[in-house]
């Protein structure tokens, strides 16, 4: 039973990392390229509802991920893959600090209404560069968790065997 609970715990981390990483990859490759077309007249409907929804969603998901990371650190502490749990926790912590300390304040200014185009452009540039940091951190976290599951489950060895 303990093994099944730990598998669910670790899967929750990987699920959260996949969601968070996926949002940041989508921002970077699909939504970021269009931000330069946002003006004080059109940015609100294209920026604010999405950022508010993401903030509400990750306000629930990230604490669950933190808890699961701590469980993983404790249960892997004596194992050779404890570094994966620690790196995942550190990446999530750094991404959360960047989000809470730097991105949320920018969101609040933008959400309140910006009427100066130069200020909007400056805020969006800052927002994009801060999200680039989270993009890197969550990509690392996702890769570490993927490595963990491959290494822990001997997936590479299993795939070498012919399918039955």
Give the pLDDT confidence of 74-105 residue by residue, as tens digits: 999 999 999 999 999 999 999 999 999 999 99
pTM attached to this predicted model: 0.90
Residue 164: is its pLDDT beyond 70?
no
Predicted local distance difference test score (pLDDT) of residue 2:
83
Predicted local distance difference test score (pLDDT) of residue 153:
82
Tokens of 51: 């950022």
Distances (CA, A) of 144 to 11, 88, 124, 138: 13, 7, 30, 10
pLDDT band at 34 (very low <50, low <70, confident <90, very high): confident
Residue 163: is its pLDDT beyond 70?
no
């Amino acid at each position: 039973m303990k093994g099944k609970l730990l598998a669910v715990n670790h899967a929750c981390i990987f699920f959260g990392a996949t969601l968070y990483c996926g949002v940041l990859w989508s921002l970077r490759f699909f939504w970021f390229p269009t931000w330069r077309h946002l003006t004080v007249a059109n940015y609100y409907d294209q920026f604010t509802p999405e950022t508010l929804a993401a903030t509400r969603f990750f306000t629930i998901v990230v604490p669950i991920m933190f808890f699961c990371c701590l469980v993983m650190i404790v249960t892997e502490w004596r194992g050779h893959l404890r570094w994966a749990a620690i790196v995942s926790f550190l990446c999530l912590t750094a991404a959360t600090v960047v989000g809470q300390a730097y991105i949320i304040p920018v969101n609040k200014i933008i959400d309140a209404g910006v009427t100066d185009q130069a200020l909007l452009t400056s805020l969006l540039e800052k927002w994009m560069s801060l999200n680039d940091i989270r993009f890197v951190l969550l990509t690392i976290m996702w890769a570490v968790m993927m490595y963990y599951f491959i290494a822990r489950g001997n997936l590479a060895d299993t795939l070498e065997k012919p399918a039955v």
